[in-house]
Each structure stands twice: as structure tokens, then as C-alpha cells.
Amino acid sequence: MTGGQVLVVSGTGTGVGKTVVTAAVAALARARGERVAVLKPAQTGVGPDEPGDLADVVRLVPGITPRELARYPDPLAPATAARRAGAAPVTPKEAAEAARELAAGHDLVLVEGAGGLLVRFDDDGGTLADTAAALDVPVLVVATAGLGTLNHTALTVEALRARGLTCPGVVVGAWPADPDLAAVCNLVDLPAVTGVPLLGAMPDGAGALPAEEFAVAARHGLAAALGGEWQTAHP
């Protein structure tokens, strides 16, 4: 694929911090002077005039190009939400084409999924993984910090490998101010069980910060592979 770099951002489920991590990667790229676009193929759970995930990214990272292909009011998987709304679903092919178009005029395109990796876009079974495969690009996985994340994250990375997709690493989407024992141990255990590096941990609540403070949080919350300065702390 010609043009700028494309990175897909998925997660182990809903509410794990994908939007914050997407914004953090975008913030570091913007700080390097790159032209950045963020693509949300399908936004669910948001009405026509309500702010969606891209509104948060634009607020946190001024200067990015946002693009949303479709939105559906019910807070459900995109395929289900589209069906209930009587609207056309977004297909993986359409999402890939939109990413290619954006890549032609940007240095970096971030494609943020809805929910987890294998949540259906359409009733034919298309998923975010299919979009990544069509683009032949890596998928960054966002995970939770605490108990239960090892299994969910290992399954997600395994699903990527089974499809021949590359996962550069895992980022914890919301690192608690007072982490419990499970969270602290997961800093070591996540890379061990997934076989991919841990590439950061964004502080819980970072999404509520002003843009300038968020840029600082991004720099310290993401590892060097993503342009930041984060270092894994060992218990």
C-alpha cells in the first residue's frame, strides 16, 4: 500500500481505553510534525448530533483529520446496531478503502475499531481483523490493567496470529493511580503470555485532561516504539 503508515487500534473488549490510546499515538505523531488522520469506521451508541469517540480525539489532539463512516444509536456491535437502525453496515472493504484514501494525504492513519477485534461489522461476519488484513497493516491491542486481562489479551493476540496479522504490542488503556497486585504483576505477565511487548500504560483519567497535559501523559504513557518515553516498571 502506498502513502502514509496505517495502524489499526483494537482492544480486548469495550471500554478498555482504545480512544485514549488512539489519541495518545496521534499526539506523539503530531508532536513530530506528522499529518495524522483518525478513522472510526463504525460509531455505535451515539445519536446523530452527539459527540462520538472522534470528538474526544479532536479535543485531545488538535490538528488531526477525523473521519467517521457511519454511526448507529444503539450501544451494540456495529452489525447489530446497523440492523436495528435499518441502516447499511460498514464493511471491512469500505473501511480499508477509506484508510487508503486518508493515507494518500497523511503520514499516519489510525483506524480505531468498535469493541473487540472480532466484533462484527456486518452480517457477513466481517470484522476489524478483516480490515487489517485487507490493508496488510499491524494491529495494536489495548487491554485492561487488572485481573482477567491475561486471558483476554492472549486470546486477542492469538486471533491476530491465526489470521497472519502482526501485533506490535499491547498498551494498557487505563492504568490506575493505585494499582492492585494483579495489575502490577500484569506488567510482567502480559508480555510473557502474549509473546508481544508491553508498549505502555496510559494513566486512568487521561482522556479528561486538556490537550497540552494529555500530550505530556501520552509521552510518558507510551513506549519508545510508539514515540514515547515509557518504561515498564517491575514489581
Q: Could you please report the per-residue DSSP string of 181-234?
A: HHHHHHHHHHHHHHSS-EEEEEETTGGGS-HHHHHHHHHHHB-GGGTS---PPP
Q: What is the mean pLDDT of residues 104-131?
A: 95
CA 24, 29, 35, 40 torsion: positive or negative? Answer: negative
CB 199 within 8 A of CB 140: yes
Distance CA 72, CA 169 (A): 30
pLDDT band at 231; cut points 50, 70, 90? confident
Q: Determine whether 40 is an active site residue.
A: yes
Enter the pTM of the model: 0.95
Catalytic residue among 30, 40, 106, 120: 40
% of the chain with per-residue pLDDT over 70: 97
- Our measurement of the distance from residue 192's CA atom to the centroid of its chain's CA atoms, rounded to an integer in Å, reads 21
Q: Count how many Cα atoms sit within 13 Å of the Cα of residue 170 in the half-sphere of its side chain.
A: 33
Distance CA 126, CA 114 (A): 13
CB 173 within 8 A of CB 217: no
Model confidence band, residue 233 (pLDDT cutoffs 50, 70, 90):
very low
pLDDT of residue 2: 58
Confidence of residue 12 (pLDDT cuts 50, 70, 90): very high
Mean pLDDT, residues 11-25 taken together: 95
